[in-house]
Amino acid sequence: MANYDEAILRSRTLQAVAPFPVLHQAVRIALYDEYAARAFYRRVAEAFGQQPPFASIARAEERHVAALDRLCQRYGIPRPLDPFPAETTVSPGWRANLERAVAGEMANVHLYRYLLPHVAARDVRQTFSSLQSASLNNHLPAFQHALQLALAREGYHAAQGIPASQAYVSHGPLTNILEHGFSLLASQHSVFGLVGSLVRAAHPAMLAGMVAGGGAVHFLRKREPVSQPMED
């Protein structure tokens, strides 16, 4: 069953000639867009586990939906049906989902920028502005940062001839942390100079093994009894 204004909701465009008020259209469009974001972020979290930032931002989208629900109750606006849990798909690649999330948050910011001049109700404007601010100042930077990390990680692995699809294979908590750090180090060409070049040229597993081995040696040395000086 489709929404009675499905064309308006899908296009995210207000229609002056529609048989229902512009205020109703604007709130329903905003809520429909938040539905879409919530479904996508939930689906990515289900597919990839609780990796940041999808799981936490999916919970934030719940709050966005709740805020718009309250406007629907206040103004007697029928809530649109939510088709997205059934139709939302995700990419098998982590980076592709981050790119989609960045594009989606930018589109959400522009959507509220488009809707705001068409609504006069103070509480609606405040809600729209608050949701726009959350997307612009919280969600978008979080996804951009995660995308930057993903690009660094894939670039680091590509330098070893490892395909992007293998860059996120888990090798255990310690190795994952080390590979993450080495990816960032290797991306700092000008800052680390020769060190960065050496790190870029080294295989991820080898570097992880070297650091883990060094840590083990340090631990064993700390456990060795301290020899007492011989008395004359």
Distance CA 205, CA 179 (A): 8
Q: Are residues 85 and 184 in the same domain?
A: no
Q: Are residues 141 and 198 in the same domain?
A: no
Q: Are residues 178 and 86 in the same domain?
A: no
Question: Do the beta carbons of residue 34 and residue 69 sit within 8 Å?
Answer: no
231 inside domain:
no
160 inside domain:
no
Distance CA 176, CA 183 (A): 10
Phi-psi region of 48 (alpha: psi -120 to 50; beta: other; left: phi over 0): alpha
Give the chain's domain count: 2
The tokens for 220 are 């064993």
Last residue of a domain, one of 123, 155, 187: 155
Could you list the residue range(s) of the whole structural domain that residue 191 is in?
171-223
Last residue of a domain, one of 155, 180, 211: 155
Q: Are residues 150 and 176 in the same domain?
A: no
| pLDDT in single tens digits along all 232 residues of the chain | 789 999 999 999 999 999 999 999 999 999 999 999 999 999 999 999 888 999 999 999 999 999 999 999 999 999 999 999 999 999 999 999 999 999 999 999 999 999 999 999 999 999 999 999 999 999 999 999 999 999 998 887 777 777 666 666 555 554 445 555 555 554 555 444 444 454 445 555 555 555 555 555 455 555 555 445 444 4
100 inside domain:
yes
175 inside domain:
yes
232 inside domain:
no
Q: Are residues 177 and 151 in the same domain?
A: no
Q: Are residues 91 and 143 in the same domain?
A: yes
C-alpha 83 chain-centroid distance: 22
Q: Are residues 16 and 93 in the same domain?
A: yes
Distance CA 12, CA 45 (A): 26
Q: Are residues 92 and 151 in the same domain?
A: yes
161 inside domain:
no
53 inside domain:
yes
Q: Are residues 121 and 23 in the same domain?
A: yes
Q: How does DSSP classify residue 118?
A: G
So what's the pLDDT on residue 50? 83
Confidence (pTM) = 0.75
Mind spelling out the 3-state secondary structure of 32-80?
HHHHHHHHHHHHHHHHHCCCCCHHHHHHHHHHHHHHHHHHHHHHCCCCC
Last residue of a domain, one of 155, 188, 212: 155
Q: Are residues 83 and 145 in the same domain?
A: yes
Q: Are residues 93 and 178 in the same domain?
A: no
Q: Are residues 140 and 93 in the same domain?
A: yes
Q: How does DSSP classify residue 128?
A: H
Q: In this structure, what CATH number is given to the domain that contains residue 113?
A: 1.20.1260.10
199 inside domain:
yes
